[in-house]
Amino acid sequence: MMIFQAEIDVMPKKEILDPQGKAVTGSMKNLGLAEIQNIRIGKHISLQIEAESADIAEQKVDQACKSLLANLIMESYTFKIAQL
Amino acid sequence: MMIFQAEIDVMPKKEILDPQGKAVTGSMKNLGLAEIQNIRIGKHISLQIEAESADIAEQKVDQACKSLLANLIMESYTFKIAQL
C-alpha cells in the first residue's frame, strides 16, 4: 500500500454568483488595492489516502469529491495527488 | 500594465485543530472511504490583479493575504501567480 497526498480545490461554478467574493473584492478598494478584481472564494481541502496505486487513489478522491466534498449543483472541483 | 491570475490557499495552521476537517474525516468512514485520513479544510481564493510586473503583483497579493484574506494567528497561506 502507498500513501498519497491529495490537494483539492472546490470553487463556485462560473455561472453562479459568489457574494462572498464580491464583498471581498469591494473591501480591496478600501485597503488601497483597487487593482485586485474578480475575487472568487471556494474551499481548499488537503487529505491523505492509502491505496494500491495512483489510479485507485485518484478514483477514490474523485468519489469523495462527488459524494461529500463538493456540491456539484453549485460547485466544481479539481485535484492533484502526489505520492508521499 | 499586465493582468495576472492569482491562486491562493489559506489553511488552518498545523498546530491548530480543524474540527470541520475532523468531522469530514469521520464521514468518510460512513461512505466506505476509511482509507482517507487527515482531512484539513481551508479556503481557496482566485483573483485577478493588474500590475506593472510579476514582482509588484506578488507584493500586492501578499499584502491582500496579510491584511484581509488570511487570519495569520490561525491560518497560513500560499499562492501562485501567472500572467493572463
Tell me how far apart the alpha carbons of residues A74 and A72 are, in angstroms, rounded to a whole number: 5
Share of chain A above pLDDT 90, in %: 99
CB of A67 closer than 8 Å to CB of B31? yes
ipTM given for this complex: 0.92
B7-54 per-position pLDDT tens digit: 999 999 999 999 999 999 999 999 999 999 999 999 999 999 999 999
Share of chain A above pLDDT 70, in %: 100
A33-62 per-position pLDDT tens digit: 999 999 999 999 999 999 999 999 999 999
Q: For residue B68, give the DSSP letter.
A: I
Paired sense of beta strands A36-51 and A75-83, if any: unpaired
Which of A11, A45, A78 is the mutation pick for testing B, counting most B CBs within 10 A?
Answer: A45
Q: Domain limits of chain B?
A: 2-16+42-83
Residue A59's pLDDT is what? 97
Q: Do B47 and A27 touch (CB under 8 A)?
A: no
Q: How sure is the predictor about A21, in pLDDT bands with cuts at 50, 70 and 90?
A: very high
Fold of A2-83: Mth169; Chain: A , (3.30.1280)
CATH class held by domain B2-16+42-83: alpha beta
Nearest by CB: B68 against A10, A31, A35: A31
